[in-house]
Structure 1
Amino acid sequence: MYRLSIVRFLINGRSSPCTAVIPSTSLELAHFLHLSSSSLLPQSLPSSKAPEEERLPPLQWRTQLLRCMLPSSLPLPLPFRGSHYLPTAPPSFSFFGVSRPAYRPFSSLRISGSRTTGRSTISGGSLRVVCEKVVGIDLGTTNSAVAAMEGGKPTIVTNAEGQRTTPSVVAYTKNGERLVGQIAKRQAVVNPENTFFSVKRFIGRKMAEVDDESKQVSYRVVRDENGNVKLECPAIGKQFAAEEISAQVLRKLVDDASKFLNYKVTKAVVTVPAYFNDSQRTATKDAGRIAGLEVLQIINEPTAASLAYGFEKKNNETILVFDLGGGTFDVSVLEVGDGVFEVLSTSGDTHLGGDDFDKRIVDWLAANFKKDEGIDLLKDKQALQRLIETAEKAKMELSSLTQANISLPFITATADGPKHIETTLTRAKFEELCSNLLDRLRTPVENSLRDAKLSFEDLDEVILVGGSTRIPAVQELVQKLTGKDPNVTVNPDEVVALGAAVQAGVLAGDVSDIVLFRCYSPFLGLETLGGVMTKIIPRNTTLPTSKSEVFSTAADEQTSVEINVLQGEREFVRDNKSLGSFRLDGIPPAPRGIPQIEVKFDIDANGILSVAAVDKGTGKKQDITITGASTLPMDEVERMVKEAEEFAKEDKEKREAIDTKNQAESVVYQTEKQLKDLGNKVPTAVKEKVESKLEELKNAISGESTQTMKDAMAALSQEVMQLGQWSYDQAGASDTESASTEPSEPSPSPSGQSREGGDVIDADFTANLD
C-alpha cells in the first residue's frame, strides 16, 4: 500500500537524502505540502530563526510541482515535518538504487510526526483517497445542488424532477406523508405550519441565538430542555432537530445522484458557510450521518466556488469570492493558480442573506396592509407564507425589471368580505427598504482584505456566488468597492456544488492536480482572570498549525486551574462560544504568578483542535480534543439515524405502493380497451375469465395491499395472454382460409359491376338474415 523512497533534496546546491513514506500512486508533491503544512524539509535542515531569504516563498514558487512516481517497498515513518520556512530554491528529486515495479491504487495515507520552530509547531493531518464515486453537495438555505466528476469535469446532477437545483424544503402532510424538494415547496401555502424551509439558519445553534430568525418562518420554532432548537410538526405530533430536516434534503440529493450516476452514492463533500462555527459544522456532519451519508470533508462555500472557477486555470490570480446566499454572507480572498488554492482570509455574517432582503418586502407589504385594513398579516400563518413566496418572486423580478406588480387576491377576509393586495414595488423603493442590509455587506469585504494584507488594487477577479448576488444594487456595491466588474462566467446557483465536486474528485482519486490550503476563520483562545478571552490562534491561520502560551495561577496556593477553550471575535468570555473545558490538578502550592503552566493549541489539517496544559514544574499534563461541539448528544444522533433508516424503508414502501397502483390502473385501462375493441368476437368463456380477473384487480386497487395488487395483476396477465393467444390463432386461421380460396372469376363489386384484373377492392357487405 505504500512505497519507500530515498528522496534527495537539492537545496542551494547541496544534496540531502532522506527516506519518506509515499502512497503507491503518483501524487503531486503539493499533496505533501498540504499534509505537512506549507513545506517539506529534510530532517537535517534547521528551521528556527531562518534567514529572510529562506522564508516562505510566494504562491508562484509553490506552483512548481513535481510529479513523483515512486517504487514500492515497506513503509517507514516520515522523519520530517513541515515548518514555517521553505528554502528559496524549489527542491528537486533524484531516485537512485531502486527499481520501478507496477503501480497499484491505495486507500488511505496518514503522515505523522512534527517539527518545531521556536515555540510554534506545525502538525500534519491526513489525506484520504477512496476508490469510489464521491459527490459534492451544496446544502443551501434556499436551494441545494449536487455535482460529480464526469469525464474529468465537474457536472451538476439533475434531480428526479429534471431540475439542476432542489429547494431545501421538507413538508409533512396531514396523513403523515413526507415531501421533499419542489413538491414540498408547492404546497407550502396550504400547509404552512408543517412545511420547513430556511432550516440552515437553525442548524447547530441554541434557541437563544435564533430569536429573530424564528419569527421569520411560518412553522413553530421551540426550545428543548437543553436549550437547543426544535422545529414543531403538528401534522405528525413530533419535534424535529434542524439536523433531521437537513438530513432529509441530503437523502433526496443522494438518491437522485445515485439514479443519475447509476451508482449507489454513500460518500460526499459538503459545503458550509465560511463563518460557520464548530457546532454548525459538526451539526452538518451529523445531518449527513443521519441521512446515511459519510461526509468525508466539510469545506467552505467560497473556497468551493474558487475551486470551480480555478479548475484547469494555469494563471496565478488573487480572487475575492463574494457569497451572498439565502441565509448567510461570506467573503474569502484566495490565491489561485496551477492547481494550488490558498485561502488568505475569510470574513462574513451568518445573520445576513437573501431571506433578509425578502423579509424587508414582507414587512413592507404587511405594514401597508395593516395601515389600510387594520389587520396584521404576520400573525396569520397562511397569509405569511403567501407573503414570503410573493416577496421572493418580486425580488427576482426586480433583478431584471424596474418594477414588480404584486397581486395577492383573497389574502384574508373579514365580516365585510375578502381582502386583497394589489400594489407595485419599484426597484428604487426596494433598494431603499434594504439600504442598511447593503451597508452591512461592506464590512466583511473590507475586513477580509485587511486580514489578507491586500488592497482592492491587488485583486484580479471578483467572483459572485449565491442567487442574491443577482440584485443590481449588490452588483453595483461590489463594483464600487473593488473597482472591478464582477466575473459572471460562473453560475452563482451552481458554482459551489461544482467546486465541492472538484474536491470530492481529489478525495476519490479522480483529480490529482488540485491542492487546497485552508485557514481557520475565527480566533481561538481561553478564559483568563476577569472573564477575558486571551486569544491564542489568530483569525485566518493556515492549517495545520500549533501555538503555545505560558500562564500562571491567579491566586496564592492555587493547586488547580480550569482551562476553558473559547472561539470568537469578542474580548469577553460571555460574548464568545465555549468549545469545551478541562481541569489541570496537582499544581504545587505557591504564591500567585510563580507556577508556569504552558497551554498548547494544535489544529490539524481537518480542523480538529487539541488543547494541552502542562505544569512545567511537575510535568503533569491534561488535554482535550475538540472535534466539534455538537448540539446533539451521541445517543440522540444514533436514534435519528435509526429513525431515518425506518423512514427510508417506509418511503420506499410508499413509493412502491404508488408505482404498483399506477401500473395496475394502466393494466385495467389497457385490458378494458382490448375487450372493447374485440367486442363480441371473443368466446364467452375466455371473456368471462378475463372480466373476472379484471374485477379482482379493481378490488385490489381499492384496497391497501401492494402484494395483493401484484398478485391480481399477475393473474390478470395470464388470462390476457390467453386472450392474446386466441386473437393470434383466429388471425392465423383467417389468413390460411383466405390463402386457400382462389376464385375462378372476378367477384362482383358492391354495385353489381365486375372488375377486370387483379386489383384489390375494399368493400363492406351487409347480409339480411330476416
Structure 2
Amino acid sequence: MAKIGINLSTGSLQKEEIIVGIDLGTTNSLVAIIHPETKKPVALKEHNSASLVPSIVHFGSHQEIVVGDTAKEFLISDPANTIFSVKRLMGKSYNDIRKQSSFFTYKVIDDDTEKLVKIQIGTKFYSPVELSSYILKELKTRAEHILKTPVNKAVITVPAYFNDAQRQATRDAGKLAGLDVLRIVNEPTAASLAYGLGLNPNDSKTVAIYDLGGGTFDISILKIQDGIFEVLSTNGDTYLGGDDFDRAIVAHWMKELNLGEADIESDKTLAQMLRVAAEKAKKELSSSEEFTTDINGSALKISKAQFEILIQPLVDKTLQAAANALKDAKLGINDIDDVVMVGGSTRVPLVKNSVSNFFQKNVHDEVNPDEVVALGAAVQADILSGNNKDFLLLDITPLSLGIETMGGLMDVIIPRNSKIPTKAGRQYTTQKDGQSGMRVSVYQGERDLVKDNRKLAEFNLAGIPGMPAGLPKIDVNFLLNADGILVVTAKELRSGVEQTIEVKPQYGLTDAEVEQMLLDSITNAKDDIALRALVEARTEANQLIDATENFINKNGKLMTTAEIEETQAAIIKLAELVKSGTKDEIQHQHEVLNSISRPYAERIMDLAVAAAMKGKQI
C-alpha cells in the first residue's frame, strides 16, 4: 500500500507556508518549526535569547499590554494587574477554581455560578480566552520577526486531561490571535512525536510521559499503534511543580534566618530576593554539590544532599501519581516500553533518578525538556502540511460542526480538522420554567454567530417533562462517520425523550468556499469574539434579572423595603444596559446587583435551613 500525505479538504495548504507548533504552557510558552534544511524540529529564539516566553500578561495604567519577560517584572510590584497561570482558568467556571482562588493575586470574579470565569482589571473584564490570545499574539509576532515571514497557521498543544470546553477555549484564543489552529494536540502525544515515537506506522508501544513543569505535574500513559495515540490514563497534581522546590529552599533558609511568614509578607523585596536565590540554587545543584549566596549581608548555603531531603516528599508524590496512572490503565511497570521526561523541573537529578528507578529503565531526556512539547507540535504541523510523506494522515472534517445556543451563538461540538470518524457531545439545559421542547439547529462554519455560518439541519426535541429551568439534562451528541455523514442525537436524560437526524455536512461546498469561510473567520475574529462576549454578557444579565425577580416574589416578606428598592433600582439599570451598554458596563452592573442581593439571599437561606432543622438533632 502506497503511503500518501492526504491533501486537506480545506483547500490547498501552500507547501511554502510555514505552520508552527506552539506549546501554550502554564508557566512558559514557545514556538517551534521544522528547520527547512535539516528537516529537524527547532525552537525559535533570537540569537542570544531563550526560546521560552513567560506566560504572563501585564496591563499598564493606560491598559497598555506587555507579555513575557517584561510582564514578569511586574509580578511583585503590580500583582493585581499582572496575570499569570491563565491556562488554569481556561474553560473553567468559578465553582471549578473556588478552592484555589487564593492562589491568584488578581481579581477572579466570584459570581457563584457555573458560568466561565472572568478576570477584572480596573473597570474592564477579560476572559481567559482573551488573555491567552495576548500570549499567542506575542508568540506569533516573535515567530514572524525571527522567520521574516507571516505566520498564520499553527498546531497548539494542551494537557491530555483538558476537556472539550478547555480545548475549544484554546482554539478560540488562537483565532483571536489571528491564527488558524489546524489541530489541538495532547502534550504527551507531542512529546512522543519529538522522540520519533509513533512516526513509524508499524510502531506498537506503550509510553509513559512524565511532565513536571514550573507549577503543574502530570503523568500520562499512551498506547501508540498504527500511528494512533490513545491516552490510556492520566494523573497528576495541578498545584505541584518546580516552584514548590524553590519554596522548600526558601522555607529552609527562613528557618536559618529566624524569619516568620509575617516578615516575608511585610517585606516583598526580601521575599523576592529569597525566591530568586532559591531558583538559582535549584539550578546550580543539578551540577554542583553546594550553593552559597548572600542576602542582605547574611550568608546562606545549601548542599545537594540537604536539597534532596527537602524535595523528596514532593518527588514521592509524583511517583504515587505514576503508580495511580498505571493502575488506572490496568498496566504494570514491565508493560511500559519508553519513558519520556518533559518540563524544566525534570533536570533535577533526584527527579530523573527516581523516575528511572520507579520504571526500572533509562528515561528519554536527550531533547531539551522545556522544548520537547513544542518540537513535537512542529512535527505534527509538518505532517499536516503534507511535507512528511512517510506518515499517513487520516481524513479530517474541513469545517467545525456545532449547534445554535442562546443569543444566536455557535457552540462548536466537533472542531474543524478533527480526524474522522469521530464523535463528541455536550450537555445542555432549558432556559425557561416548564419548557417542554428544545430546537436543535445544526451549523457548519468557523464564525461565532450562527447567522454567519451554514445551516445544515434543524429538529425539535419535544415532550420534555415540565421542570424548573436548568433542571432537565439534554445530551446532544454528534457522530461523524468515515463517509462524512453526521448523525445528531438529542436526548433528555431524566425522561429518556430522544430525537435523531442524519446530515451530510460537506454537501455542496467547494474547496474555494471552505477557504473563504476560514479566511472570514480569521479576518473577523476580533469583532466576532467581542460580539460573542457581549451576547453572553446580555444572556447572563437577563438570567440574573429573572432569578432575582423570582427570588423577591417568593421571599419579599423577609426583606426590608430598602433592600427591595435598592435591588429593583439595580435591576432597572441592568435591564437598560442590556439594551444599549457595552460588555464591561453590563458585567460591572451584573456585579453590582450580585453584591446587593448576596447578603439578604444568604440571610434568607440561613433562615430556611434553621426552620428545616428545627427540632432535629445532628
TM-score, structure 1 as length reference: 0.49
Residue of structure 1 in register with 2:86 after alignment: 199
Q: Is the 8 A contact 2:383 2:393 kept in 1?
A: no
Deviation at 1:230, TM superposition (A): 3.9
Deviation at 1:636, TM superposition (A): 9.7
Residue 257 of structure 1 is aligned with which of 143, 147, 151? 143
Counterparts of residues 232-271 of structure 1 (less than 5 Å): 232-233=120-121, 238-271=124-157
Quick one: distance in 1 between partners of 2:106 and 2:294?
Answer: 24
Q: Does residue 345 of structure 1 match 2:281?
A: no
Counterparts of residues 156-171 of structure 1 (less than 5 Å): 156-159=43-46, 162-171=49-58
Q: Is the 8 A contact 1:366 1:376 kept in 2?
A: no
Percent of aligned pairs with the same amino acid: 37
Deviation at 1:500, TM superposition (A): 0.4
Counterparts of residues 542-621 of structure 1 (less than 5 Å): 585-586=462-463, 612-613=490-491, 621=499
Deviation at 1:397, TM superposition (A): 2.7
Residue 512 of structure 1 is aligned with which of 389, 404, 426? 389
Q: Which runs of 5+ in 2 are unaligned?
A: 396-418, 426-434, 439-458, 467-472, 504-524, 535-618
Secondary structure of the equivalent of 2:42? strand
Residue of structure 1 in register with 2:185 after alignment: 299
Residue 339 of structure 2 is aligned with which of 451, 456, 462? 462
Q: Is the 8 A contact 1:465 1:493 kept in 2?
A: yes
Q: Does residue 482 of structure 1 match 2:359?
A: yes
Q: Is the 8 A contact 2:54 2:72 kept in 1?
A: yes
Q: Number of residue pairs matched?
A: 446
Residue 215 of structure 2 is aligned with which of 319, 322, 327? 327
Q: Is the 8 A contact 2:488 2:500 kept in 1?
A: no
Quick one: distance in 2 between partners of 1:547 and 1:195?
Answer: 36
Secondary structure of the equivalent of 1:441? helix
Quick one: distance in 1 between partners of 2:267 and 2:287?
Answer: 31
Bigger shift: residues 464-473 or 130-139: 130-139
Residue of structure 2 in register with 1:114 after alignment: none
Counterparts of residues 56-455 of structure 1 (less than 5 Å): 66-67=2-3, 106-108=7-9, 132-151=17-36, 152-159=39-46, 162-174=49-61, 176-186=63-73, 188-211=75-98, 213-223=100-110, 228-233=116-121, 238-310=124-196, 316=203, 317-336=205-224, 340-358=227-245, 360-361=247-248, 364=251, 368=255, 372=259, 375-378=262-265, 384-405=271-292, 407-409=294-296, 422-455=299-332
Quick one: distance in 2 between partners of 1:230 and 1:159?
Answer: 34
Q: Which amino acid aligns with 2:183?
A: Q
Quick one: distance in 2 between partners of 1:602 and 1:465?
Answer: 34
Q: Which runs of 5+ in 1 are unaligned?
A: 1-64, 70-104, 110-126, 410-419, 519-541, 549-558, 563-581, 590-596, 626-633, 644-770
Q: Which has the higher contact order (CA 8 A, sep 6+)?
A: 2
Quick one: distance in 2 between partners of 1:253 and 1:430?
Answer: 35
Deviation at 1:269, TM superposition (A): 0.7
Quick one: distance in 2 between partners of 1:442 and 1:299?
Answer: 25
Structure with bigger gyration radius:
1
CA spacing shift, 1:224–1:288, aligned 2, 3 Å: farther
Q: Which amino acid aligns with 1:146?
A: V
Quick one: distance in 2 between partners of 1:305 and 1:282?
Answer: 21
CA spacing shift, 1:342–1:367, aligned 2, 3 Å: same
Q: Is the 8 A contact 1:246 1:287 kept in 2?
A: yes
CA spacing shift, 1:585–1:457, aligned 2, 3 Å: same
Quick one: distance in 2 between partners of 1:176 and 1:500?
Answer: 33
Q: Is the 8 A contact 1:600 1:611 kept in 2?
A: yes
Q: Which amino acid aligns with 2:150?
A: K
CA spacing shift, 1:586–1:345, aligned 2, 3 Å: same
Deviation at 1:304, TM superposition (A): 0.3
Q: Which amino acid aligns with 1:480?
A: N
Q: Deviations over 1:509-552 (max 9, x none)?
A: 2223235899xxxxxxxxxxxxxxxxxxxxxxx9856699xxxx
Residue of structure 2 in register with 1:760 after alignment: none
